[in-house]
Amino acid sequence: MSTASKPQTIWSHCNGCGQETKHEIVHKASRRRSFDDDQYSSVEVGSEWTIVQCCGCEEVSMRRVDWCSEDDYQGDLNPPTFFPARVSRRKPVWLTREHAPSTYVGMLDEVYATLHADSRRLAMMGARAIIDVVITRTVGDQGSFSKGLDELKNKDLISKRDRDIIEAAVNAGSAAMHRGHQPTADDVNVVIDIVERMVHAEILEAKAKELAATTPP
C-alpha cells in the first residue's frame, strides 16, 4: 500500500481558466498574535495563507484569510483575499502578446480585478479613464471628451457609429461618478468591449506602421 498521502484540494476561481476549478493545496502557513485588551482578557488575531495550484492550467496563487477572536463568524470565516486578485473577465490574448503599452495593461488589469469584486461603478470609472488616455495618446488633449471623440472621428480613427457608442460609454462613466448610477453587468461589459477595441486598434495601427517600414519596396 502506498504511504503517499493524497493531495488536499479545494475549489477556487482560476484567473487562467476564467472559472472555478479544482486547486491543489501546495503549502499552508499561519500567524497568530495576542494583544492585551485589558487586565482580564486578550484579543487574538491571525492570518492563514494557502498557496494553491490550479489542477487544469497549473497557475499558482495565494489566498489569505484574516480572523480575530472578537469577530462573530456565524459559521463562515472572513472572505479570502487572493494574490494576484481574482478576475472574472479574461484578459484578451493580444494585450500581452502584442506588447501593449504598460499604461493600458496596468489600467485594464485593475478594471478586470474591479469587475471580479462586482464593483461596477469603479469599473465604469476605470473604463472612462482608459478612453481619456486613448484620446490623449492619439489626438492630444482636446479640452473635453466630446471634442476628443470628434477629433478621433475627423482623423478616421473611429467611425460615426463608434463615436456614438463611446459617447454612451463616457456618459455611463460620468453617471457612475457623479450621480451614483449603478450600471448593470451587461452595461459594464459593453463598455469594456469598446475600450478593448479602442486599445487594440491603437496597437494594430502601430504594428501596421512597423510592418510598412520594414517591408522592402
Residues that bind Zn ion (CB under 5 A): 14, 16-17, 21, 54, 56-57, 59
> Any bridge partners for residue 42, and if so which?
36
Provide, rounded to whole angstroms, the least separation between the CB of residue 17 and Zn ion: 3
CB nearer to Zn ion: give 57 or 117: 57
Using alpha carbons, list the distances in angstroms from residue 122 to 107, 110, 135, 151: 12, 10, 20, 27
- Nearer to Zn ion (CB atom), residue 22 or residue 209: 22
**Over the range 180-208, which residues count as b (16 or more CB within 10 Å of their CB) and which as e?**
ebebeeebbebbbebbbebbbebbeeeee
Query: Could you report how far apart the first and last alpha carbons of the chain are, in Å?
Result: 71
Residue owning grid cell 479570502: 80
Amino acid letter at 153?
K
> Which residue, 55 or 203, has its beta carbon nearer to Zn ion?
55
Q: Which is nearer to Zn ion, 17 or 168 (CB)?
A: 17
SS3 content of the chain, % helix, strand, coil (to 5): 45, 25, 30
Pairing outcome for strands 42-54 and 60-68 = antiparallel
As given in the structure block, the three cell numbers for residue 185 are: 453587468
Nearer to Zn ion, 116 or 200 (CB): 116
Nearer to Zn ion, 14 or 157 (CB): 14
Q: How far is the CB of 52 from Zn ion (least distance, A)?
A: 10
CB of 12 to Zn ion, least distance (A): 9
Output the smallest distance, CB 57 to Zn ion, in A: 3
Minimum distance from CB of 15 to Zn ion (Å)?
7
User: What is the nearest approach in angstroms of Zn ion to the Cβ of residue 186?
Assistant: 26
Q: In the numeric block, which cell numbers belong to residue 173? A: 462613466
Measured at the CA of 66, the angle between CA 64 and CA 72, to 5 degrees, comes to 140
